[in-house]
Amino acid sequence: MPGLPNSRRQIARAKEHAVDLKRKFDTFWNTHEQIPFFEHDPHRSDHETFKIRITHPIPLDSYADSAHDAVINLRSALDSAGYALAIGSGNNRLKSTGFPFANSADELENQIKGRSKDIPEEIYPTFRAYQPYRGGNDTLWALNEACNAHKHQGLVRLDTGTVLGNFIGTGGIVKLLSPPRWDSIKQEIECGTFVKGSEVHCYVEIGTFVAFDKIEVIGGEPLLPVLDYFIEIVEHIISTLEIEGARLGFLK
């Protein structure tokens, strides 16, 4: 059956990295304690701040390793498809068979004529249809940006979110932070400030999640849902290229 087996293997490997990433998340949060406490406000003696301390270092480097490996596999799946289609067309020039990513629609045409020029021209409409450029399919474009990010600098960060339930009492709450403030140095989550000794009871559910960091479009977005989308769109592209490659006789 015609297909792109190398690309499929790369996608399967990306899925394994995503599963490994979820396992790492679950293992850490299920086995390490989070301690709530009050801290005196250094600026107001009658105020105190409610915080939660995470007792063990969060393994962001390990998370970054898995995320980076996953996105590299996915981009490799796209590049492998171009290489296979070039070979299937009988082309002996195989230096420029990469999948085209660009910063604009105009630049995409330059990328097709450059890094994709040894792929059969009949495949170019498929590339254009997926709009792998800024201002087109921005999230697909961000896949390439994530690949280019250094896995330990600007790839992932810890973010927080809050769902505030009910609270009882008056005059005690000075400030509630939504979302809570994460202090990566102290590994503490600051939730709010209260009048010292006040009778305030509140239920606050705090969610922590690992997000992409300094990458346009996906910065601040949760890691696993974005990886799931990357996998989904790359699978879709590969399926389309398999169909087109078979129809055109490039895949046997």
* Ordered per-residue pLDDT tens for the chain, 252 residues: 469 999 999 999 999 999 999 999 889 888 888 888 888 888 888 888 888 888 888 888 899 999 999 999 999 999 999 999 999 999 988 999 999 999 999 999 999 999 999 999 999 999 999 999 999 999 999 999 999 887 556 688 877 665 455 555 455 667 777 778 888 888 888 888 888 877 666 665 666 788 898 899 999 889 999 999 999 999 999 999 999 999 999 997
Q: What is residue 151's predicted lDDT score, i.e. its pLDDT?
A: 59
The arrangement of strands across the sheet holding 188-195 comes to: 34-40, 47-54, 188-195, 173-183
Contacts within 8 Å (CB) and 24+ apart, 18-24? 18/66, 18/70, 18/224, 18/227, 18/228, 18/231, 20/66, 21/63, 21/66, 21/67, 21/70, 21/223, 21/224, 21/227, 22/224, 24/59, 24/62, 24/63, 24/66
Q: What is residue 115's predicted lDDT score, i.e. its pLDDT?
A: 95
How many structural domains comprise the chain? 1
Task: Give residue 46's domain range.
Answer: 5-248
Q: What is residue 153's predicted lDDT score, i.e. its pLDDT?
A: 63
Q: What is residue 161's predicted lDDT score, i.e. its pLDDT?
A: 64
Q: What is residue 126's predicted lDDT score, i.e. its pLDDT?
A: 97
Does this model's pTM top 0.95? My answer is no
Q: What is residue 190's predicted lDDT score, i.e. its pLDDT?
A: 86
Q: What is residue 231's predicted lDDT score, i.e. its pLDDT?
A: 98
Q: What is residue 135's predicted lDDT score, i.e. its pLDDT?
A: 97
